[in-house]
Amino acid sequence: MSEIDSAAVEAMIARLDRGEARVAERIDGEWVVNEDAKQAILDYFRLRQVEPMEVGPFEYLDKIPLKHDYAEAGVRVVPPAVARYGSFLSRDVVMMPSFVNIGAWVGPRTMIDTWATVGSCAQIGADVHLAGGVGIGGVLEPVNARPVIVEDGVFIGSRCAVTEGVIVGERAVLGPHVSLTASVPVIDVTGPDPVEHRGYVPQGAVVVPGTRPRDFPAGTFQLACALIIGWRSESTDLKLSLNETLREYGIGSG
């Protein structure tokens, strides 16, 4: 292993913490991974030592310090929410008791609800709502692997899990308990024939959990999938239309 340039690593983590650099950005319509930023995060873990940290009444034992100066950043953080240093929270983000890991980027006015987690390097857009218990997976290795990306205006319902670099397109709605990985099919059933996506939820899709049959030597069994059962109207605002959209398709908001 080559020697780590500690000054360069510290500089990159500081840039991530201030939002001056991102692990992934959309360039010419495509999400592009910043491999230098991801490598710096891996090297940062190698450079740091486990040490005790105290924040108010809470005591931690970890390698990565916590973010601070939330008031200056215009971020509301409800105890005992935790964001690690090297993550970035935009102005007017609200963190209920929840967790944001290093390398993550969270856009303006996004709500991270109670017991939701935003994994390492995940990119969360503006005006997103991650409902209670949502799990957004982290992706560190390999350095060229795309992180989970949740684009602007998305609503992710209670207890959903999104992992393995899945992209959730703008203004999509995931009903409660949807679980998405790179291999879970997302099937559009709104037309005369099913249309299958993997690793991607189209913009404006309304998605619920589903199953579909698969034959095995022992018989036919149901495997998990996700179903696109409708589409958000582009003319309506998320906060006004969300509950109505979910009720229209017979699912709760969570």
Structure tokens at 176: 């409660």
Is the distance from CB of 243 to CB of 200 less than 8 angstroms?
A: no
Tell me what pLDDT residue 57 has.
84
Secondary structure of the chain: what % helix, strand, coil (to 5)? Answer: 15, 35, 50
Which domains, and CATH codes, for the chain?
A: 1-150 (2.160.10.10), 176-254 (2.160.10.10)
Q: For residue 26, what are the β-bridge partners?
A: 31
Higher pLDDT, 197 or 245: 197
Mean pLDDT (whole number) for 137-142: 93
Q: What is the mean pLDDT of the chain?
A: 93
With 70 as the cut, is the pLDDT of residue 254 above it?
Answer: no
pLDDT above 70 covers a percentage of the chain that reads 91
Q: What is the DSSP string of 47-100?
A: H---EEEEETTEEEEESSPBP--HHHHT-EE-TT-EEBBTBEE-TT-EE-S-EE
> 160-175 pLDDT, tens per residue?
999 999 999 999 999 9
What's the mean pLDDT in 205-234?
A: 94
**pLDDT tens for each residue of 53-76:** 888 788 899 999 999 899 999 999
> What pTM, to 2 d.p., does this model score?
0.92
For residues 49 and 61, give the distance between their C-alpha atoms in angstroms, rounded to a whole number: 10
